[in-house]
Amino acid sequence: METLYLKTLIVTAEKGSFSKAAAELCITQSAVSQRVKFLEERYGCELLDRSGPVMMLTAAGEAVVRKAQAILDIEKTLQDELKKFTGRQRLSICCTPSFGIAHMPKVLNRFMLRNADIVDLKFMFYSPEQAVKGLAEREFDIGIIEHCEDLDLADFHTATLPRDELVFVSAPSLGIPTPLVTIERLFEERLITRKDGCSSKKLLRLNLASIGKDLEGFRSTVVYDDLHLTVDTVLDGGGVAFVSTCLVNKYLESGQLKQHRVEGFCHSRQRTVALSRSKVQDRLVSDFLACLDTVFTDQCHRSSCPT
């Protein structure tokens, strides 16, 4: 049996719906439903109670999930043991999107130039919560996470990176005052933002809540799941966005975008590198972290990121 089907059942039980599981696994809702149905037909009993608003495991489902998790752990251990026979080492990395776009190309290029003949590399963009989950399930060796709230990283080896600066940005054609602006002036504009789960959106919500406001105060809201599209829309005068300065620094320097701060707002978030404690002495992990330190430090100094 494909162990992927077992993982699909576990995620569906955690999320409570096929649609949320599909979003987590990056597959269609129909595929999730079909995988669970296959398991139910194979075992001859219902594994999920679909009668309520939130799907719950049946007694049989709970038994299958317990064994499924053990099977997945064994599979992961086996994969780790087999690496020494392939002649190529593997490294899995995840990071939050804005960090990945702003910093990771040079880090990965530098790393691959030094390890191209021996490394199979997996690299994914994940939200902070997904990154922590992926690390816990040993899907990734390293996670680079931007977050505005404390995360439970007690099970991992961690290192703190310089904080990330976030500001509102707009096209000069909108005529918004800079560098300080009132939230009332920004509310006159359309907000271009990421989907829920993005830490920049969380930070914006927390800032607004601190002054008794919310996202409904903006003239309208457009949600994009693509940072490039977000920046392009703002460049064209389509609205304002609350983004990392390192993501748009070249546009700020050229004058194509203006940055704005709101008095009393928190304009920075934490950055943390997390990895499994068993990987601390791994040569590839150490080499990647060295490349990250070299390139990231250089980029931040040149783009005046805060330390």
Task: Give tens-digit pLDDT for 26-69.
Answer: 788 898 999 999 999 999 999 999 998 899 999 999 999 999 98
Question: Is the predicted pLDDT of residue 222 greater than 50, yes or no?
Answer: yes
Least confident of 7-11, 29-33, 118-122: 118-122
Residue 196 — φ and ψ, nearest 5°? -60, 145
Taking 60 as the threshold, does the pLDDT of residue 115 lie above it?
A: yes
Would you say the pTM of this structure is higher than 0.85? no
At residue 302, the pLDDT reads 58
Contact at 8 Å (CB) between 246 and 102?
A: yes
Distance CA 186, CA 214 (A): 12
What pLDDT is attached to residue 152?
85
DSSP letter for 75, please.
H
Listed in sequence order, the DSSP H helices in 256-282 are none
How confident is the model at residue 83, as a pLDDT?
65
pLDDT, position 12: 93
* Residue 206 binned pLDDT confidence (cut-offs 50, 70, 90): very high
- Classify 204 as helix, strand or coil: helix
Q: Which residue has the tokens 């983004």?
A: 243
Segment 251-255 shows an average pLDDT of 97
Q: Which amino acid is at 65?
A: V
Q: To the nearest whole number, what is the mean pLDDT of the chain?
A: 89
DSSP assigned state of 119: E
- Please give the pLDDT value at position 165: 95
Rounded to 5°, the CA angle 124-125-128 comes to 120
pLDDT (0 to 100) of residue 307: 45
Judged by average pLDDT, the poorest of 75-84, 117-126, 231-240, 272-281 is 75-84
Q: How confident is the model at residue 299 (pLDDT cuts 50, 70, 90)?
A: low
Phi, psi of 125, deg, nearest 5: -90, 130
124-165 pLDDT, tens digit per residue, is 998 898 899 888 888 899 999 999 887 889 889 999 998 999
Q: What is d(CA 77, CA 62) in angstroms, rounded to the nearest whole number? A: 23
Alpha-carbon distance of 84 to 104, in angstroms, equals 27
| Model pLDDT, residue 232 | 96
Distance CA 116, CA 281 (A): 20
Does 201 have pLDDT greater than 70? yes
